């Protein structure tokens, strides 16, 4: 009897997935544990292994997005059972083809068919990402996937070919600098989650500055011991340590609403927002890998773990476990935004708080009755007002500021 293969739930917050590419062909015999498909969740793609052995019958083609637990393929025990599955699938398809014959020429794009100007290019999300990273124009790549869709193998083949001469710009294309399709891409998932976050929570953002002059002195001393420590300690590592200390003083900052309950978490799992290249040179995408049990780490351990995690995010090597389970999020624009800029980051669901530091700025400040030039760190924190009131948030903000302005507290 055929065994169903459903869209796997690769992360706790995953509701749907996109099949970037089937790594086996229709009818292949697949061993248990063999690579089966490339599946993209909201922010990252995974190569999944086959949970069964058998002859594969593909139901959902590459490029399609379906909800978790929806059947996308079947494993047949024998070639005879495979043939039966294929015949059952072909019967309704042939009937639909007859009924919709007048509409078919528009959709039937093959690898050799010329594209019409302005026509949306069909490509899997993984293929779009790979093409963008390689500087390839999808319009110059022939698709060999279902319905002429561009898939991973097409981009790999295009990388090996000599660069084509760019087509002349026509009046119809000169108006637009770029067009970035969103359907079925990580950017669409990000957009959906941002809207969901704003619509489903009571978000309140507050901004202030912390004097990190002494913190930077401590960091310089740590950097001078880089060889001994085995890492060049970053400001973000010190900031994470300060956030953890503030949470330990005000545990409510590490909480979220789950159903009808407010849950205060014992461990601190820090989500780290990482910006990555998008489908084109104009686009970006976003991942939030999770640094687990950061409350048990020293500053040096935080720095090492964070750099390793961000490195795996940028190389596409994150596991599903590393993308789920955050209790609070850090989203830094330091070094990217102009000095002094403050933002109001949107909550990363289901977290009840997100901390958004920006680029430091030097200001004259009065310290001990004297005017000094101090380095001030802009901080913006957004929290869910359904979970936390202003009083505990004010205590958290005070505790965070105290640790940033008195960095000796971070090293004890």
CATH of the domain at 129: 4.10.320.10
Q: Which of 99, 119, 136 is the last residue of a domain?
A: 99
Cα 373 to Cα 142: distance, rounded to the nearest angstrom:
59
Q: Count CB neighbours of 317 within 10 A.
A: 10
User: Residue 130 domain-assigned?
Assistant: yes
User: Residue 270 domain-assigned?
Assistant: yes
In this predicted structure, what is the pLDDT of residue 221? Answer: 95
Q: Count CB neighbours of 51 within 10 A.
A: 13
Pairing of strands 328-330, 353-357: parallel
In this predicted structure, what is the pLDDT of residue 247? Answer: 97
The DSSP symbol for 207 reads E
In this predicted structure, what is the pLDDT of residue 108? Answer: 38
DSSP assignment of 374-388: EEEEEEEEEEETTT-
Domain count of the fold of the chain: 3
pLDDT 10s digits, 197-243 = 999 999 999 999 999 999 999 999 999 999 999 999 999 999 999 99
SS3 per residue for 244-275: HHHHHHCHHHCEEEECCEEEECCCCCEEECEE
350 preceded by cis ω (within 30°)? yes
Cα 410 to Cα 412: distance, rounded to the nearest angstrom:
6
User: Residue 89 domain-assigned?
Assistant: yes
Tell me whether residue 293 is one of the annotated catalytic residues: no
Both tokens of 400, joined, read: 């965070």
User: Residue 79 domain-assigned?
Assistant: yes
The DSSP symbol for 354 reads E
Phi and psi at 74, nearest 5°, equal -140, 150
Q: 149 and 35 in one domain?
A: no
In this predicted structure, what is the pLDDT of residue 12? Answer: 61
Q: 229 and 88 in one domain?
A: no
Q: 270 and 145 in one domain?
A: no
Q: 141 and 90 in one domain?
A: no
Q: 120 and 69 in one domain?
A: no
Tell me whether residue 57 is one of the annotated catalytic residues: no
Phi and psi at 49, nearest 5°, equal -95, 155
In this predicted structure, what is the pLDDT of residue 111? Answer: 42
The residue from 137, 214, 283, 385 that is catalytic is 385
User: Residue 347 domain-assigned?
Assistant: yes
Q: 401 and 287 in one domain?
A: yes
In this predicted structure, what is the pLDDT of residue 133? Answer: 74
**Residue 66: which domain range?**
3-99
Cα 353 to Cα 327: distance, rounded to the nearest angstrom:
8
In this predicted structure, what is the pLDDT of residue 167? Answer: 52
Q: Which of 84, 99, 114 is the last residue of a domain?
A: 99
Q: 242 and 131 in one domain?
A: no
Q: 144 and 113 in one domain?
A: yes
Q: 56 and 127 in one domain?
A: no
The residue from 4, 217, 293, 389 that is catalytic is 389
Q: What is the CATH number of the domain that holds 24?
A: 2.40.50.100
pLDDT 10s digits, 251-273 = 999 999 998 999 999 999 999 99
Q: What is the CATH number of the domain that holds 405?
A: 3.30.559.10
In this predicted structure, what is the pLDDT of residue 74? Answer: 93
User: Residue 184 domain-assigned?
Assistant: no
Q: 255 and 371 in one domain?
A: yes
User: Residue 173 domain-assigned?
Assistant: no
Q: Using alpha carbons, select from 146, 140, 106, 108 the residue that is nearest to residue 124.
A: 146
Q: 386 and 282 in one domain?
A: yes
**What DSSP element (H or E) covers 284?**
strand 284-287
pLDDT lower than 70: segments of the chain:
11-13, 42-45, 92-120, 125, 146-147, 162-174, 184-185, 412
Q: 209 and 147 in one domain?
A: no
In this predicted structure, what is the pLDDT of residue 184? Answer: 64
User: Residue 52 domain-assigned?
Assistant: yes
């Amino acid at each position: 009897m055929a065994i169903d293969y459903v869209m796997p739930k690769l992360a706790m917050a995953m509701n749907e997935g996109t099949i970037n590419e089937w790594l086996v062909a229709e009818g292949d015999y697949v061993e248990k544990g063999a690579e089966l498909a490339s599946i993209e969740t909201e922010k990252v793609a995974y190569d999944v292994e086959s949970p069964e052995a058998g002859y594969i019958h593909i139901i959902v083609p590459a490029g399609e997005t379906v909800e978790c637990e929806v059947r996308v393929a079947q494993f047949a025990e024998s070639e005879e059972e495979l043939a039966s599955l294929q015949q059952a699938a072909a019967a309704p398809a042939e009937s639909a083809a007859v009924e919709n014959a007048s509409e078919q020429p528009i959709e039937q794009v093959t690898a050799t068919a010329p594209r019409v100007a302005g026509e949306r290019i069909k490509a899997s999300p993984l293929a779009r990402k790979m093409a963008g990273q390689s500087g390839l124009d999808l319009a110059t790549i022939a698709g060999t996937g279902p319905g002429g869709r561009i898939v991973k193998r097409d981009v790999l083949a295009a990388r090996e070919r000599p660069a084509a001469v760019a087509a002349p710009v026509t009046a119809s294309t000169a108006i637009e600098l770029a067009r970035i399709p969103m359907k079925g891409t990580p950017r669409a998932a990000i957009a959906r989650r941002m809207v969901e976050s704003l619509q489903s929570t009571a978000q309140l953002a507050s901004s202030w500055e912390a004097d990190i002059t002494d913190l930077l002195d401590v960091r310089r001393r740590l950097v001078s011991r880089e060889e001994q420590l085995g890492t060049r300690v970053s400001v973000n590592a010190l900031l994470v340590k300060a956030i953890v200390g503030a949470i330990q003083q005000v545990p409510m900052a590490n909480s979220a609403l789950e159903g009808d309950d407010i849950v205060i978490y014992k461990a601190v799992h820090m989500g780290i927002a990482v910006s990555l290249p998008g489908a084109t040179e104009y686009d970006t995408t976003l991942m939030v890998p999770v640094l687990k049990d950061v409350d048990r780490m020293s500053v040096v351990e935080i720095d090492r773990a964070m750099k390793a995690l961000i490195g795996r995010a940028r190389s596409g090597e994150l596991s599903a476990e590393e993308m789920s389970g955050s209790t609070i999020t850090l989203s830094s624009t330091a070094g990217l935004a102009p000095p002094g800029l403050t933002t109001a980051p949107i909550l990363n669901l289901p977290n009840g708080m997100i901390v958004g530091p920006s680029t430091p700025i030097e200001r004259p400040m009065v310290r001990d009755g004297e005017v000094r030039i101090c380095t001030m760190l802009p901080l913006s924190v957004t929290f869910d007002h359904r979970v936390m009131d202003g009083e505990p948030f004010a205590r958290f903000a005070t505790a965070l500021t105290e640790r940033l302005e008195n960095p000796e507290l971070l090293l004890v």
